[in-house]
Amino acid sequence: MTTPVLEIQNLTKHFAVGTLAKPSYVHALEDVSFKVNRGEVVAIVGESGSGKSTTVRLIARLMEPTRGEIIFKGQSILKTEPKGATLDYRSKVQMIFQDPFGSLNPIHTIGHHLERPLLIHKKAKNKKELQEKVETLLTTVGLNPAAEFAGKYPHQLSGGQRQRVAIARALTVDPEVILADEPISMLDVSIRMGVLNLMDKLKVDRGISYIYITHDIASARYIGDRTMVMYAGHMVEGAESTDLMQNPAHPYTKLLLSAVPNPHAGLGKQTHVEIPDAAKRAEIPSLIDLPPGCPFASRCPAVMSLCHKTMPAVTTLSAQHWVRCHLHTADESLPLPPPNPPRVSL
Ligand code: SF4
């Protein structure tokens, strides 16, 4: 069995709010654990405030976790680099942000944006090699003619082209993992597919792994090998993407799937689970002083009294499919289902 390229163990982040006299904490992330294998796309899906962006920002070392472990190729990053990530980790684990315009400096050319990391990480020996590498990168991400694009400024590019530049910039340092935080949510629908296909091609050609953050479960199904669902700072379900979409087990996953447009609607084929409107309209509860039990209890159409008392444990449904929901736990305190009625022969 190969070592995962990235392993996250019990990652937790609490933000202090309130006053010194009356401190309180936002529980943004609670005991999140998962693995990413080489050349694998792990999609993390959830609403705003579910903790998915906090997860990748912690992995990128843009902030320090309250507790937990980040293990990169078998090495604990928090132990070996306690004061922030080194250049080596930063080059191997790169991030693409949601807003491609905001992540580029409007006063510098595209060529400058790509030259900077190449120079900082000593990836080019001279000016000629620098220029060649910039043009190769632009060609790799489909920006042709490369020399022309290198001389342009961010405002001269479309949203999709700017996101391709952001991907090219991540590639300058030969990353092994790319953290893609909603990389297509600000792009026109017509160009989203092109960016996802580019990410997929880089996965195949270079063995790059991705953590793909999205609130759109349909794009997670498209690009994710595995998909994990987050709610109120907790991972609530995970499975291979196809399995998750076809056999969702957690009521929240079913709620997300119910929001995906259904091309079979009205054609006599029912592919989605009916979710009450009240559950669809409700929002994530406050992450300050979350009540005990399941965080989805206030919206769940299947809530039971146990759900308000105890956080459900992880239940394994198959080799790759797990869920945290009392509907799937074999808890002895739950009442047994009624026995099957005796068969009656007519
Ligand atoms: Fe709903 Fe209870 Fe399952 Fe939470 S544990 S999702 S409240 S049934």
Is 196 in a helix, a strand, or coil?
helix
pLDDT tens profile 23-78: 888 999 999 999 999 999 999 999 888 999 999 999 999 999 999 999 999 989 88
For residue 206, what are the contacts with CB-CB under 8 A and spacing of at least 6?
none
Residue-level pLDDT at 341: 38
Asked if pLDDT for residue 82 goes beyond 60, the answer is yes
Looking at the chain, how many residues does it have? Answer: 346
Give residues (CB < 6 A) around ligand 1: 250-251, 294, 296-297, 300, 302-304, 307, 312, 325-327
**Cβ(312)–Cβ(329) under 8 Å?**
yes
pLDDT tens profile 185-242: 888 877 888 899 999 999 999 999 999 999 988 899 999 999 999 999 999 999 999 9
Structure tokens at 299: 């919206």
**Cβ(150)–Cβ(109) under 8 Å?**
yes
pLDDT tens profile 310-337: 999 999 999 999 999 999 985 544 444 4
Q: How far is the CA of 196 from the centre of ligand 1 (A)?
A: 33
- First-residue to last-residue Cα distance in the chain: 57
Nearest residue to 183 (alpha-carbon basis) of 149, 142, 214: 214
Mutate to test the pocket of ligand 1, among 229, 235, 253, 296 (most ligand atoms within 8 A of CB): 296
pLDDT tens profile 111-153: 999 999 999 888 888 999 999 999 999 999 999 999 999 999 9
> How far is residue 190 from each of residues 159, 186, 199, 216, 234, measured CA to CA in Å?
11, 12, 16, 15, 33
Asked if pLDDT for residue 342 goes beyond 70, the answer is no
Ligand 1 atom showing the smallest separation from residue 252 Cα: 6
Nearest residue to 165 (alpha-carbon basis) of 192, 133, 142, 193: 142
Distance CA 180, CA 103 (A): 13
Q: How far is the CA of 236 from the centre of ligand 1 (A)?
A: 10
Count of CB atoms situated within 10 Å of the CB of 138: 23
The amino acid sitting at 280 is K
**Cβ(232)–Cβ(287) under 8 Å?**
yes
